[in-house]
Amino acid sequence: MEENELIFQRKAYEKMLIRKRDFAPNYVLFLKGARRVGKTTLAEEFGKKEYKSYILVKFNEADQEVKDLFVNGLMDLDSFYENLSFKYNKKLYLNESLIILDEIQLFPLARQALKALLEDGRYHFIETGSTAGIIKKSKESQILAPSEEYVLDINPLDFDEFLLANGKENLVQFINKYIDTLTPIPNIIFKEIFNLFRIYMVLGGMPKVVMTYLQTSSFSKADFVKRTILETYRGDMKNQEAVSPTQLFNIFDSIPSELSKHDKEFVLSHADKNARFARYSESIGWLEDSKVANVSRCVTEPSTALSLSLEDNRFKMYLVDTGLLVTLAFDDGNLLSDDFYESLIKDRLHINEGMIIENVIAQGITSLNKKLRYNVKSDPDKKIITREIDFLIKYKLKITPIEVKSSENTFKTKSLDDFIKTYSSICNNGIVFYPGNVKKINGIYYLPYFYSYYLDKINFR
Query: For the residues 81-97, what does the mean pLDDT come to?
Result: 98
Give per-residue pLDDT as tens, 183-197: 999 999 999 999 999
Give per-residue pLDDT as tens, 20-32: 999 999 999 999 9
Query: For the residues 287-299, what does the mean pLDDT come to?
Result: 95
Query: Final residue of a domain: which of 131, 153, 175?
Result: 153
Is the residue at 3 inside a domain?
Answer: no
Q: Are residues 289 and 431 in the same domain?
A: yes
What average pLDDT does the chain have? 92
DSSP, res 145 = P
Answer yes or no: are the C-beta atoms of 320 and 293 closer than 8 Å.
yes
Q: Are residues 235 and 377 in the same domain?
A: yes
DSSP-based three-state secondary structure for 399: strand
Is the residue at 5 inside a domain?
Answer: no
Answer yes or no: are the C-beta atoms of 173 and 54 closer than 8 Å.
no
pLDDT at residue 14 is higher than 60 = yes
Q: Are residues 145 and 58 in the same domain?
A: yes
Give per-residue pLDDT as tens, 335-355: 999 999 999 999 888 787 899
Is the residue at 445 inside a domain?
Answer: yes
Query: For the residues 387-394, what does the mean pLDDT come to?
Result: 94
Query: Final residue of a domain: which of 153, 183, 211?
Result: 153
Is the residue at 353 inside a domain?
Answer: yes
Is the residue at 415 inside a domain?
Answer: yes
Q: Are residues 164 and 148 in the same domain?
A: no
Domain that residue 426 falls in: 159-457
Res 411: pLDDT? 76
Percentage of residues in the chain having pLDDT higher than 70: 95
pLDDT at residue 169 is higher than 70 = yes
Pick left, alpha or beta for residue 272 (phi over 0 → left; psi -120 to 50 → alpha; otherwise beta): beta
Count how many domains the chain has.
Answer: 2
Query: Final residue of a domain: which of 153, 175, 197?
Result: 153
Res 378: pLDDT? 85
Q: Residue 453 and residue 436: Cα distance in Å, rounded?
A: 16
Q: Residue 211 and residue 285: Cα distance in Å, rounded?
A: 31
Is the residue at 220 inside a domain?
Answer: yes
Q: Are residues 375 and 429 in the same domain?
A: yes
Q: Are residues 356 and 306 in the same domain?
A: yes
Give per-residue pLDDT as tens, 419-435: 999 999 999 889 999 99
pLDDT confidence of 5, banded at 50, 70, 90?
A: low
Q: Are residues 214 and 302 in the same domain?
A: yes
pLDDT at residue 40 is higher than 60 = yes
pLDDT at residue 369 is higher than 80 = yes
Task: Tell which residue, 315, 410, 413, has the closest CA to residue 372.
Answer: 315
Give per-residue pLDDT as tens, 123-167: 999 999 987 755 455 444 556 667 799 999 999 999 999 999 999
Q: Are residues 245 and 393 in the same domain?
A: yes
Is the residue at 7 inside a domain?
Answer: no
pLDDT at residue 235 is higher than 50 = yes
Q: Are residues 174 and 73 in the same domain?
A: no
Q: Are residues 229 and 370 in the same domain?
A: yes
Res 36: pLDDT? 94
- Find all residues with CB under 8 Å of 92, minimum gap 6, and list them: 53, 55, 81, 84, 85, 123
CATH assignment of the domain containing 59: 3.40.50
Res 3: pLDDT? 46
Is the residue at 211 inside a domain?
Answer: yes
Angle formed by the axes of helices 219-239 and 207-216, to 10°? 160
Res 346: pLDDT? 92
Please tell me whether the peptide bond between 108 and the residue prior to it is cis, using omega within 30 degrees of 0. no
